[in-house]
């Protein structure tokens, strides 16, 4: 059980704020028309994100078990446990490739600390610098051992925290890491906003280009909402089983969703002015390039750039760690409760095979790059299969379950804490969870099918 209110928010927010808001969001915004994407994303968080979060938290706190156990506690001897099993599968598959990117972050933090990242970089020659950072990244991620070792390093960090359990491990780590993350973000915002030419970047980010508003873009914004709020993945079901019974689910969901969105917006405020001010190409905002090429290029040109680089990769590592902890907890809780293992052995049962699976993902940039599943490398296949399919399907099963099939009064009891709070919001939540939420999730699935 989480001990304090702050712990509940820090852990849940820690799960939500991760590579999704920090790295995926600016790239999605760039591709989908800047401000227009931001507006649609905000609408998605409000209309769909908060209610789906309330739905999943309700399943978890009413079911009071791991993701699979929560569904079957609520509807024993039915097939609804599959809703939890899908989340379990999604979270484990995501861990396999997420750990790899978290590992790269660890390596870049290390290289910033040691100064290796910037050795041999000549300032003044912008094109040459971009080329050098690019080839370094390519050489690093496609080498066999170096990225594997940092990926395993992050897995070990996760295992150590998870072994300590929910209160002494996850809650304590989140209580330390989340405030640190916000301080780092504020420092970077302050820096970006004082750059010459920052206004052009802000104009791009906040000016909505409505010509980009297509069904595909709305599908992308919905997908981003799921990814960034950790929906459809068993995390919220698992975490809510550790919520005290007086935690109010609607304000908690609203706080977590708003703060996650604030982080994403802060990242936009950091990235776009920086990219404009340094005259960099907007195309350089794509995923891996943004973090591992474009930003190092900026740091190399800044006074005190090495220090900034250390702070940035620390920020990214902290964000990734609090998210991987939550992804890992879904499986650890499952093994602990369903297979009745001690915390220590559950963590080992989950993390040891992950060493192998994440290695396969890591090697898909190098030795295994020719090994394809449906024409994609292992890493890309897992990324696409989980984000486009498993997440929305799992969320759909969850909202239909709690909206229509869970024992009567479950949702109401959870939303109102058995009639003691938030009575007025309850009919709105119930309506959204029963009707528009499943329909909107179907839109994501169909837009994914049409891509």
User: Which residue's CB is nearer to ligand PFF, number 97 or number 276?
Assistant: 97
Q: State the Cα–Cα distance between residues 266 and 193, nearest whole angstrom.
A: 11
Nearer to ligand PFF (CB atom), residue 165 or residue 328: 328
144 CB neighbour count, 10 Å cutoff: 13
Q: Given the complex with ligand PFF, which of 104 and 276 has the nearer CB atom?
A: 104
Alpha-carbon distance 341 to 330, whole Å? Answer: 14
Least spacing, CB of residue 392 vs ligand PFF, in Å = 10
Minimum separation from the CB atom of position 89 to ligand PFF (A) = 12
For ligand PFF, the closer of residues 291 and 406 by Cβ is 291
Torsion over CA of 21, 228, 90 and 180, rounded to 10 degrees? Answer: 60
The angle formed by the CA atoms of residues 57, 333 and 264, to the nearest 5 degrees, is 50
Element of type H or E holding 149: helix 146-163
Name, in order, each residue with C-beta under 8 angstroms of 61's C-beta and a sequence gap of 6 or more.
240, 241, 243, 245, 247, 249, 414
Q: Which is nearer to ligand PFF, 154 or 198 (CB)?
A: 154
| Residue 91 beta carbon to ligand PFF: minimum distance, rounded to whole angstroms | 7
Tokens 């093994």: give the residue: 335
Q: What is the binding site for ligand PFF (CB under 6 A)? A: 15-16, 18-21, 94, 227-228, 230, 233, 323, 391
Work out how close the CB of 431 gets to ligand PFF at its nearest, in angstroms, rounded to a whole number. Answer: 26
Whether the CB-CB separation of 343 and 332 falls below 8 Å is answered with: yes
Distance between first and last Cα of the chain: 42
Residue 303: CB minimum distance to ligand PFF, A: 31
Q: How far is the CB of 20 from ligand PFF (least distance, A)?
A: 2
Report which DSSP code applies to 314: H
Q: How far is the CB of 94 from ligand PFF (least distance, A)?
A: 5
CB atoms within 10 A of CB 148: 18
**What single DSSP character describes residue 399?**
H
Q: Which is nearer to ligand PFF, 305 or 392 (CB)?
A: 392
Give the nearest residue (CB) to ligand PFF.
20
Cβ nearer to ligand PFF, comparing 250 with 390: 390
SS3 208: strand
């Amino acid at each position: 059980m989480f001990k304090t209110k702050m712990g509940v928010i820090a852990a849940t927010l820690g799960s939500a704020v991760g590579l999704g808001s920090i790295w995926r969001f600016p790239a999605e915004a760039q591709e989908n028309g800047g401000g227009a994407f931001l507006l649609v994303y905000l609408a998605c968080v409000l209309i769909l994100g908060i209610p789906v979060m309330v739905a999943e938290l309700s399943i978890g706190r009413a079911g009071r078990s791991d993701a699979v156990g929560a569904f079957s506690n609520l509807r024993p001897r039915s097939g609804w446990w599959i809703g939890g099993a899908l989340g379990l599968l999604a979270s484990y598959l995501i861990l396999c490739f997420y750990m790899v990117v978290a590992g790269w972050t660890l390596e870049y933090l290390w290289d910033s600390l040691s100064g290796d990242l910037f050795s041999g970089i000549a300032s003044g020659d912008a094109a040459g610098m971009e080329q050098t950072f690019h080839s370094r990244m390519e050489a690093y991620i496609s080498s066999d051992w170096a990225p594997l070792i940092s990926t395993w390093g992050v897995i070990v960090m996760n295992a150590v925290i998870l072994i300590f359990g929910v209160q002494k491990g996850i809650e304590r780590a989140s209580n330390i890491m989340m405030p640190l993350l916000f301080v780092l973000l504020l420092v970077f915002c302050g820096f970006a906003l004082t750059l010459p030419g920052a206004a052009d970047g802000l104009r791009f980010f906040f000016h909505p280009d409505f010509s980009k508003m297509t069904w595909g873009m709305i599908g992308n914004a919905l997908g981003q909402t799921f990814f960034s709020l950790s929906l459809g993945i068993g995390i919220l079901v698992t975490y809510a089983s550790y919520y005290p019974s007086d935690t109010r689910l609607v304000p908690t969901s609203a706080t977590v969703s708003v703060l996650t969105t604030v982080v994403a917006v802060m990242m936009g405020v950091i990235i776009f002015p920086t990219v404009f001010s340094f005259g960099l190409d907007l195309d350089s905002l794509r995923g891996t390039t943004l973090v591992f090429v474009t930003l190092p290029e900026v740091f190399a040109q800044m006074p005190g750039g090495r220090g900034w680089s250390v702070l940035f990769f620390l920020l990214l590592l902290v964000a990734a760690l609090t998210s991987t902890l939550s992804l890992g907890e879904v499986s650890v809780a499952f093994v602990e409760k369903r297979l009745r293992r001690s915390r220590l052995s559950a963590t080992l049962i989950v993390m040891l095979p992950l060493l192998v699976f994440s290695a396969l993902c890591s090697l898909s940039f190098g030795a295994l790059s020719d090994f394809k599943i449906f024409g994609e490398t292992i890493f890309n296949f897992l990324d696409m299969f989980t984000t486009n399919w498993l997440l929305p399907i799992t969320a759909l099963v969850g909202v239909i379950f709690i909206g229509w099939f869970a024992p009567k009064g479950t949702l109401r009891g959870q939303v109102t804490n058995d009639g003691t709070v938030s009575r007025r919001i309850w009919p709105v939540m119930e309506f959204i969870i029963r009707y528009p939420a499943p329909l909107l999730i179907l839109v994501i699935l169909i837009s994914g099918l049409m891509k």
